[in-house]
Structure 1
Amino acid sequence: MTGALHNAGLAVRRMGIETQQEYVVYMHRDCHVCRSEGFTAQTRVSLYLNERSIIATLNVVDPPLLELDEAGLSNSAWRALGPVQGDLITVAHAPTLDSMSQVRAKIYGHRLDAPALGSIISDVAAGHYPGTHIAAFLSACAGGRMDLQETIDLTRVMVSAGERLDWGHSPIADKHCVGGLPGNRTTPIVVSIIAAAGLTIPKTSSRAITSPAGTADVMETMTPVALGIEQMRHVVQREGGCFVWGGSLSLSPADDMLIRVARPLDLDSDAQLVASVLSKKIAAGATHSVIDVPVGPTAKVRSDADYRRLKELLEQVAKACGLNVQVVRSLGTQPVGRGIGPSLEARDVLAVLQGAAHAPRDLGARAVVLAGRLLEFCGYSKPGSGEAIAHRLLASGAAWAKFQAICEAQGGLREPTLSRLREPVLAQRDGLVRAIDSRRLARLAKLAGAPKAPAAGLELHVRLGDRVEKGMPLFSLHAEAPGELAYALKYLASHPLIDVGEPQ
């Protein structure tokens, strides 16, 4: 701590500005600390309060937002530093980030060894990297620029940067989908089936990255998911499974930082995807994981060649890190279920678990196949018998009972909310549904407000091969705000999503 520590402290004020996980401090442009230290906008600075400290990005403001002797904190910086309104903090230049030289080396095409990656990930996890630095690292590693050993090392250092759970026995089951297929919300159903069978499946999930909903977003419409590690342990020990948002834990903290920046960039990198997925599995204590990879023309993985490359990378990295994985190829030609968006997908999940007559059959069938593979993979059932057992646990109501018990242990089960605004989108001609663009449907659901507005999104009314007549509803848009509904409709006017016509 140097320089500014000899200056008088600044009275801290909470600004009420949400900056996600990036720490931001606001100071008057004529503040004596800014002048004496030569701080300018976007300077990285260290903030000190008693024994606590963080590194934040400086934003300079004009009067009357702040007084000369005040420093404002974003919500995330306030939570991390933990002050009381009016506490005096001291400010200094942030220490030099030596690991940025490694990022620059990667930008210029050099490979990174384990110590270099460890240095970068350690700084990321500690909050030392602003969004611009993280974006540079992500971009440098995208597009096939990381080899196998780099991906293995990245996975390992991401695990070592956080806590690692040990459940004291094996197998510990896990199921994951790489994403890219809207509505493919099989995880809550699979977890319920596996836990109902008596296996342990401590499921941690992410929020949406490039999709209209992540599993954590969907489950949060029904039960609390921001559990701490001890709360998670209690739920798993009591019920055998859980639905926990990984961001509330410290299992792979650097991954949460990377995801925050990857989301607005809409950036998917095989190396980062593999390291992200596997580091979370390993840190959560999983020993056996079934990974679903949907393949389709508008899915995240578009071709068999892409699938084989990703499958091989997942298997090689998992083996090197001591995790058993089984990669499953699934059909990705159209969305799964009817709902796209947190609440709408949650309603599909509930319908399947409850055995409702209107439940989407494709969602239930996919979940049963994956649960069956996981039962066999963990040695619970003989090869070829897992799917029948999974179907029985679902059809008997055992999975639904287990789902309710897990939710109650996490804080209670509630009904997903419905949107205030709905707009049907009608077929413009007679014909067959020949193609459905999953990526554009996902984009449309996000424009309608998902996942930030949990009830927003869209509800599909047709499937591939269905015959429709002009004026029939193809899907319905759901929104919470008129502006978002209008924005989605404007996008829809120039972006065809569902191809209706005669067979080609």
Structure 2
Amino acid sequence: MAQGIFFFVVGPSGAGKDSLIEGARARLGSTGRYLFARRTITRPNGAPGEDHTGVTAEQFQASAAAGEFLLSWHAHGLSYGLSADLLQVLEAGGHVIANGSRRMIREAAARVPQLVVIEVTAAPEVLAARILGRGRENAEQASARVLRQVDALPTDIQTQRVDNDGTLAEGIDRFIDAVQAVARRHACPPTSQPLLARKLQGHALDEMQYEWLLRDIIEGRYADSEISAFLVSASQHLSDAEVVALAKVRTRFSPAMRWDRPMVVDKHSMGGVPGSRITLIVVPIVAAHGLVMPKTSSRAITSAAGTADAMEVLAEVELTPEQVRRCVAETGACIACNGRLNHSHLDEVMNTITRPLRIDSTRWAVASILSKKLAAGSTHVIVDLPFGPRTKLATREQAQALAELFEQVGALLGLTVVALVTDGSRPVGRGIGPALEVRDVRWVLEGSLQAPADLREKALLFAARILAWDPQVGSIEAGRRRAEQLLDDGCALAALERMIDAQGRRAPVMPSALTCAVRAPCDGHVGQLDGWRLAEIARCAGAPRDKGAGIDLKVNKDALVAQGDVLYVIHGASADSLESAARLARDGSAIALVALR
């Protein structure tokens, strides 16, 4: 009989591992296949927290000396122990799930026949909110706990990551899925293992081989550590032919939408530039012209707002495929969240791994993005590739190479793709955060004198390229004239209002009235605006969770300022978040001033 698996559950404060273990115990504990280990802890029985065996420090030391513990460790003034009897369960083929400690992973691996680490994770802001919710720490202490450096997990020990950012029910489901996926692999190893080995050795795979391998990944037949190794290899060794093969295979794993139109246009941005909310301007221009543009967009991951976050200030974005079709039939366009539309379980698996590891997966991203456009029924796609020190593409040369890859792969997939390299060295527009960015968008659409010129110009650049695809327009110059006309005569604004009504109008969200002005410490001119730092401050202020939070820029690059002039205004979701953002802004790194001589 095969020996069982020892699941060692670790995670930072606030990740919720205790709650997930208890939820899993309620559903798996009665199956007879899983034993949930009861820890011995030097605190009284019945104390708040997990169900445990309470002992005194002397009793714990006596048990440890007698060899009664498989593992024991000390943390936060307490001693923890796991019984040596768990080895008998493993030898009998049962699986053990134990609440553990990250620094005990190596020792656990040396003492059990097969160890799998389950790492429960959550975004920093979620961890901080949960720690604050306990009422034992203030905001600064909670932030310090979240930012505390922890030891990296061993790369040679099998690991499954469980994202617990959502509801408790979602977290428990993911935890159980991760455990059961490992158990299935243990009982029946994946048949595509030789293909994974080939890719890890740097060899190319063809379309059929990728379909075989990716299907096993989707069905949970590989550990996160194996998928991580695959993604690292793919980021280093992925030919143009493989990108095409991956895009075709990925399309077959995504729900497809079809449109009875000869031309369906779409837009994608590689992101990384705060503000730059041109989609909310471009789509109404295109719809007002008469082309079909069913735009699906993402929410923010590390930025202060995604396109879906901004559109949600105005309208419902969580649309079903049927609702998208109705909106497009009524208005010619929509701006919807892609979570329920272009959902790909493959992306869900991959993103859980690539985000914490920060794997450079730009070539993989080409396959992912274009496969989604194919599945969405698009025929023509424009891609925004901003480059700059804080974006995904550091140099113009990197952006240009990726633009060529997008266009070449698109052509091989039967798509018309134009990729534009743009300046991502500073924010676009004034607002950073959902409501503030929507304010800028409305100013452009309304022709207000306050409209940011750079936001209007970038929107017209992309709209002109899209309209040029229409044979009746025929050129970029004519597309520019048509786009300006639709902006100036109010047709684009009217198109946006129709889209809002079709999607479901929401009560408008205004920028938060809780504000703090950041002022120039000296006379000088603005040398550099660090968009990444500004977005970090905006997120600290509460964006994008709070739609009214963010930053309102008052200066542009090269602007002359006097000491005491307002550089930007922070809008906070609460007094605490405003104070946290203000502290973050005090080092002055967000906007660099060059002193006048």
Q: Shorter-chain TM-score category?
A: 0.7 to 0.9
Matches within 5 A, 1:439-458: 439-458=532-551
Paired position in structure 2 for 1:459 = 552
One-letter identity of the residue aligned with 2:95 = F
Paired position in structure 2 for 1:64 = none
Q: Which residues of structure 2 form unaligned runs of 5+?
A: 5-14, 36-88, 100-116, 121-166
Preserved CA contact (<8 Å) 1:103 1:136? no
Match of 2:484 among 391, 395, 404: 391
Tell me the alpha carbon deviations over residues 109-147 of structure 1, each in whole angstroms, 9 at most, x when there is no partner.
Answer: 3433323432343345456667656544443433x4322
**Stretch moving more, 264-273 or 458-467:** 264-273
Preserved CA contact (<8 Å) 1:124 1:254? yes
Larger Rg: 2
Paired position in structure 2 for 1:34 = 34
Preserved CA contact (<8 Å) 2:299 2:309? yes
Match of 2:508 among 380, 400, 415: 415
1: CA distance, partners of 2:498 / 2:350: 33
2: CA distance, partners of 1:102 / 1:451: 41
One-letter identity of the residue aligned with 1:234 = R
Cα gap change, 1:288/1:24 in structure 2, threshold over 3 Å: closer, same or farther?
farther
One-letter identity of the residue aligned with 1:186 = I
Q: Does the alignment pair 1:249 with 2:341?
A: yes
SS at match of 2:25: strand
Preserved CA contact (<8 Å) 1:25 1:77? no
Matches within 5 A, 1:44-55: none
TM-score, normalization: structure 1?
Answer: 0.80
1:400 to partner: Cα distance = 0.9
Match of 2:458 among 340, 360, 366: 366
Cα gap change, 1:425/1:400 in structure 2, threshold over 3 Å: closer, same or farther?
same
Cα gap change, 1:465/1:438 in structure 2, threshold over 3 Å: closer, same or farther?
same
Match of 2:374 among 277, 282, 300: 282
1:333 to partner: Cα distance = 2.8
1: CA distance, partners of 2:433 / 2:227: 28
TM-score, normalization: structure 2?
Answer: 0.69
One-letter identity of the residue aligned with 1:334 = R
Preserved CA contact (<8 Å) 1:421 1:478? yes
1:417 to partner: Cα distance = 3.7
SS at match of 1:26: helix
| Bigger relative contact order (CA 8 A; separation at least 6) | 1
CA RMSD of aligned residues (A): 3.7
Tell me the alpha carbon deviations over residues 299-345 of structure 1, each in whole angstroms, 9 at most, x when there is no partner.
Answer: 33232211221111111111111110111222223110111122221
Paired position in structure 2 for 1:336 = 428
2: CA distance, partners of 1:97 / 1:77: 26
**Stretch moving more, 406-415 or 113-122:** 113-122
Match of 2:184 among 94, 118, 139: 94
1:379 to partner: Cα distance = 2.6
Give aligned-pair identity as a percent.
35
Match of 1:226 among 312, 318, 327: 318
One-letter identity of the residue aligned with 1:501 = V
SS at match of 2:317: coil
Match of 1:217 among 287, 293, 309: 309
2: CA distance, partners of 1:438 / 1:388: 31
Q: Does the alignment pair 1:488 with 2:581?
A: yes
1: CA distance, partners of 2:501 / 2:21: 34
Match of 1:112 among 205, 211, 219: 205
Q: Does the alignment pair 1:357 with 2:452?
A: no
1:350 to partner: Cα distance = 2.1
Preserved CA contact (<8 Å) 1:202 1:236? yes
1:38 to partner: Cα distance = 2.3
Matches within 5 A, 1:15-164: 26-27=24-25, 32-35=32-35, 38-41=94-97, 74-76=168-170, 93-95=183-185, 96=188, 98=190, 99=192, 102-103=195-196, 105-126=198-219, 134-142=227-235, 144-164=236-256
1: CA distance, partners of 2:460 / 2:291: 16
One-letter identity of the residue aligned with 2:536 = R
One-letter identity of the residue aligned with 2:215 = S
One-letter identity of the residue aligned with 1:40 = V
Paired position in structure 1 for 2:290 = 198
Preserved CA contact (<8 Å) 1:103 1:140? no
Cα gap change, 1:500/1:140 in structure 2, threshold over 3 Å: closer, same or farther?
same
1: CA distance, partners of 2:332 / 2:21: 37
